[in-house]
Amino acid sequence: MEIAWWHWIAGGLLLVLMELAVASFFIIWFGLGALLVGFFTLLLPLSLAAQLALWSISSGTMVFLWMRFFKNPDRTKSGLAKEAFLGETGMIIKEVTELNKGQIRFQKPILGSDTWPVIADETIPAGERARIIDVMGQTLKVAKK
């Protein structure tokens, strides 16, 4: 069985377009690997084994480089100290009182989300700015800015 160069190009484009639908930012590397194999096969004829090897190596290398060097550093990792987020400020979007939880929104995601439930030792009305003073599981403790 022989795979022509345009099969690789079409498959690569299909995988890149699939990335738009799935939005995992993982499929794209296999699509780019297929495009690379298609262009190499267009320039010089490669056996099927060489094509599959080139696709596997290029896709694996791109996935490794993405995960190792270019992955978003804002994502949380297990064991990440909560102290890294203490002092961050956000806008209270649902009033928080001593007895009722409120909600806060940050400009950039904190611990993977831009909106968090909050508690406070004092009443903080919606529209006020507040800063994180503690992380308590899935709830942030805040104080007025």
pLDDT surpasses 50 at 76: no
Per-residue pLDDT, averaged over 121-142, amounts to: 92
Query: Does the residue 77 lie in any domain?
Result: no
Per-residue pLDDT, averaged over 47-69, amounts to: 92
* Mean pLDDT value across the chain: 88
pLDDT surpasses 90 at 80: no
Q: What's the pLDDT at 129?
A: 95
Whether the CB-CB separation of 126 and 139 falls below 8 Å is answered with: no
CATH number of the domain within which 86 lies = 2.40.50.140
Q: What's the pLDDT at 110?
A: 78
As for how many domains the chain has, the answer is: 2
Range of the domain at 102: 82-144
Task: Estimate to the nearest angstrom the gap between the alpha carbon of 93 and the chain centroid.
Answer: 25
| Bridge-based pairing state of the strands 139-144 and 113-120 | parallel
Structure tokens at 49: 């084994």
Closest CA to 35 of 10, 18, 60, 62: 10
pTM: 0.51
